[in-house]
Amino acid sequence: MISIVEAIPPVIQSSSDLAQYNNLIIEYPKMEYFKQNSYIELNFHVLNASANVVNKTKPYKTSCYIHIYNENGEHFIEQELKTHYETKDYTDWFINLTETNTSRIGTYPYIVWCNSSSAMKVDTPNGFLSNNFKINQNGFEPTIEKIAIYAFLILLISAFFIGSLISTFSINGKNKQDEMGNVIGITSRKYLKIFFGAIAYLCIWILSYLSAEMASYLDFIMAYLFFNMIFEFLYLMMIPVLLVLGWIFIALLVKDKRLQKMIDRGDKELRN
């Protein structure tokens, strides 16, 4: 497997220029990409915009809600955010998403709304935030550098695959024969055909994995599902294929040893 790891610093991005409704500002760590089938936690800070200080309103007077939508625009999750009670100013709010919530690759828009009041008044402090997060196979943001690396690896493995495939079909693995078709010598090139055949299979398996990874980075969902299906199929078939190739290798080796003994004895009319 190929793994590309990159640290993503939790840069805080204010919602004041995007989604401030009244005088509460909702801030959040700028983390847009998460890994498929992983546990994630979305965190939010609620600040008082009028005084530009932390909102110290107690949690029973402040309520924050989140609405998360799926790729079809349908409500995916709708619930009240929890607060971190260990912070005395009650500014930290969060929601936990389990592996069940992050099982599908795609983009998930969400809305956060906070109300800091015990009675509905005109000047009630409110805050509003609209954002989204993305689920992909590896949890990393696609970059030109990563795409270039995968493109280079795909071209390199493709070259190995084409070379192995050509070698598999172009190498003449037949034993040496006279004009009558009788075997007069044993050639070992037939074993190279088996070797290059195994290399070609491994190359196409690696190519399907790299293609699925690249499609995941680019958010090409259908392409990812297609190449991932091929990858999983080739992975399941790998042991049976290698066992068959190993059996052919041993069968040819036994046959060649038997033919070589017959040639050494001077037997005539030997056939492949």
State percent of the chain over pLDDT 90. Answer: 25
Average pLDDT over residues 132-156: 86
Average pLDDT over residues 202-218: 88
pLDDT digits (tens, 9 = 90+) for 158-187: 999 999 999 888 888 787 777 776 777 778
Helix (H) or strand (E) holding 77: strand 75-80
pLDDT digits (tens, 9 = 90+) for 20-55: 445 778 888 888 889 888 999 999 888 776 655 444
Tell me the angle at which helices 221-265 and 189-217 cross, rounded to the nearest 10 degrees.
170
Cα gap 179→239, rounded to integer Å: 41
* CATH annotation of 12-136: 2.60.40.1930
Cβ(201)–Cβ(238) below 8 Å: yes
Q: Domain spans of the chain?
A: 12-136, 144-265
Cα gap 195→189, rounded to integer Å: 10
What average pLDDT is seen over the chain?
Answer: 78
Is residue 99 pLDDT above 80, yes or no? Answer: yes
The pLDDT score that the predictor gives to residue 89 is 59
Is residue 120 pLDDT above 50, yes or no? Answer: no
Cα gap 33→39, rounded to integer Å: 13
Listed residue (232, 164, 231, 229) closest to 197, CA to CA: 164
Backbone CA torsion sign across 94, 98, 99, 104: negative
In angstroms, the Cα distances linking 176 to 192, 258, 270, 271 are 16, 15, 11, 10
The pLDDT score that the predictor gives to residue 29 is 84
Helix (H) or strand (E) holding 45: strand 40-48
Listed residue (140, 123, 159, 187) closest to 38, CA to CA: 140
Neighbouring residues of 33: CB distance < 8 A, sequence distance ≥ 6: 8, 133, 134, 135, 136, 139, 140, 141
- pTM for the complete prediction? 0.59
Listed residue (207, 41, 206, 216) closest to 141, CA to CA: 216
Predicted confidence band at 250 (pLDDT cuts at 50, 70, 90)? very high
146-173: string of b/e by CB count within 10 Å (b at 16+)? beeebeebbeebeeebeebbebbeeeee
